[in-house]
Chains A and B, each alone.
Chain A
Amino acid sequence: MVIKIEGLDFAYGAGKQSVPVLKNINVTIQKGMITAIIGQTGSGKSTLVQQLNALLKPTKGTVQIGEHVVTNKTKEKELAPIRAEVGMVFQFPESQLFAPTVLEDVMYGPKNFGATDEEAKKAAKTALKRVGFDATLYEQSPFNLSGGQMRRVALAGVLAMNPQTMVFDEPAAGLDPQGQEELLNLLKSLRDEGKTVVLISHQMDQVLALADRVLVLKDGEIAADEPVDQLFSRPQSWFAEQHLDLPETIAFQKQLEEKGFVFDGLCKTVPDLAKAIKKQLDPTKIQTLGSTISENGEANHE
């Protein structure tokens, strides 16, 4: 399922007090890929992704989600089926928990979309297992859990609906490093199953490691829409203009390039970078140094 946004303008509020947020957006979210959306705070990322499951309707233009076309005039009733196809995980999703037990909370979504109790329970258990939630806590109240556990339940709540496309709005905020790692692995495994994933993130290292394609928003307009390698090949000054940081490895590579190093392509990981540097140095002198960097790099990266 492809999501296609054409000629989209969006403003919050109406009349004199309306605030234009998105301007002339034309993008296609490709199937089976991880698309990252980056941009300075307030650039309109959250507003943009809320068009993807019709939580917000365009002020102008159209959003085509699979077979559904959403415009300014689309009725609320017609929007419900879209939400079964596009799941949405908000920042700090744990604030959506409400049911008396963990299991019931996760079953809420599937049941709303017509699953029987049995089916919903099965889907909920699968989803909870997938996010690594402890099975002994299924009958607990979600309000007695730790922050990280609550986040997992909330994630499972959307996974259980098994939508074809999943959108994550800064999902890793406030998680510990291990939790972040697990989350990123989850996104990868979703993509590997053929699901479409959209990810808003401020962490450039995450974007580099995960994304296939990147959208850059600046003041509500698309500043770039291209494969991740192409994006990070842009000069540092361009990123400064967008008020974005480069991932650390890329920033380092670019500094070396200024000093006269020549690289074949983009080095996405520390070991890649180490290997490329090693190639450029006098092999007889640097052999040992190079291999330590490489080992450390690998060790850090596992």
Chain B
Amino acid sequence: MNNLVIGQFVPGSGILYKLDPRTKILMTIAYVFLLVFANSWPTYLWSAAFLLMALVLTKQGLGLYWRGIKPILWLILFTVVLQLLFSGGTPVLFAFGPVKVTLPGLINAFYVVVRFVLIVLMSTILTITTPPTAIASAIESLLKPLKVVKVPVSELALMLSIALRFVPLLMGETDKIMKAQKSRGMSLSTGSLIKRAKAVVPLLVPLFVGALQRALDLANAMEVRGFESAEGRTRYRELSYSKADAWAFGAVLVFAFGFIALNFVS
């Protein structure tokens, strides 16, 4: 469970750690959005180059990112197989009975994989370099304009940041309960599907009971300390843009123009 890299913050010292979380979120969104329109190998190459630059600027070993990709390898493989089998066209490279693998299918599969990996890596960069609480405040800040149309942005942000804080707690709790039940002979890896599904009950029930209890305790603790509204709370860390953010926005703009130009050329 601790081997999961996606969604996990890893402390470090690269330039990307110094960017405002809002910048990183907008950057990631822009990147993913553009990538959807990539249509030729030069644009993919250009996108990969941009990603590589971001990777280097996190100053984290590539091994970390490899571990981020590894758990979803089977998903990638699945996509490749689907693409290979279900895209038609000619020429047919080889065929087993009704199943044909075509050249366009192969090219398509390759592009899909590249796109998928790039998107996953870019989001991994965001979460590796940004603590969850910073992501929560950035989202709140970015959503602020929605207050005009009566969206309870502050409450939503508070809920999000509390939820995020509960994640490591819950992981710890899961580990503890899992060990306790294993000690009593729980086995999740043997038996039929129904048997396995039943086997998680001793894990899930205590987890939910504990989480509910924690939530109630937290609500009470907040109430006795006079919590009324999430509106207008002050923060321990205020978000602010710096020079590095200006550079980052510049870099994204250059990337976007290059991307669009390359897309038009082909």
Residues of A within 8 A of B (CB): 12-17, 50, 53, 55, 76-77, 80, 83-84, 87-88, 90, 93, 95-99, 108-109, 112-113, 143, 157-158, 161
Contact = CB atoms under 8 A, between A and B. Distances in A.
Contact of A80 (B181, B185, B202, B205): B185
Given A14-B3, A55-B179, A83-B182, A95 B187 contact: no
A43 B25 CA distance: 40
Nearest to B64: A16
Interface string B57-99: 0000101100100000000000000000000000000000000
10 contacts: A16-B64, A50-B179, A77-B189, A83-B185, A90-B179, A95-B177, A95-B180, A96-B180, A96-B206, A161-B185
A108 B10 CA distance: 39
Given A55-B179, A90-B180, 11 more contacts: A12-B2, A14-B3, A84-B185, A88-B183, A93-B180, A95-B173, A95-B180, A108-B184, A109-B185, A112-B187, A113-B185
A96 B185 contact: no
With a 10 A CB-CB cut-off, give which of B61, B67, B180, B190 has the most chain A CB atoms: B180
Contact of B184 (A12, A143, A161): A161
Given A80-B187, A112-B185, A161-B184, A90 B3 contact: no
B186 interface: yes
Contact of A88 (B64, B180, B203): B180
Given A12-B2, A90-B176, A158 B64 contact: no
State the majority secondary structure of interface residues on B: helix
A96 B63 contact: no
A189 B245 CA distance: 67
Given A16-B61, A16-B64, A83 B183 contact: yes
Contact of B183 (A13, A15, A55, A99): A55
B203 to A, nearest CB: 8
Interface in B28-65: 61, 63-64
B148 interface: no
A14 B210 CA distance: 29
Contacts of B61: 16
B215 to A, nearest CB: 15
Contacts of A14: 3
Nearest to A160: B184
A98 B183 contact: no
B206 A98 contact: yes
A99 B198 CA distance: 12
A25 B179 CA distance: 22
Interface in B181-224: 181-187, 189-190, 201-203, 205-206, 209-210
Given A16-B63, A143-B209, A96 B177 contact: yes
B148 to A, nearest CB: 44
A13 B2 contact: yes
Contacts of B182: 55, 83
A68 to B, nearest CB: 15
A163 to B, nearest CB: 9
Contacts of A93: 180
A13 B67 CA distance: 13
A77 B191 CA distance: 12
A53 B186 CA distance: 13
Contacts of B190: 77
A149 B64 CA distance: 46
A97 B183 CA distance: 13
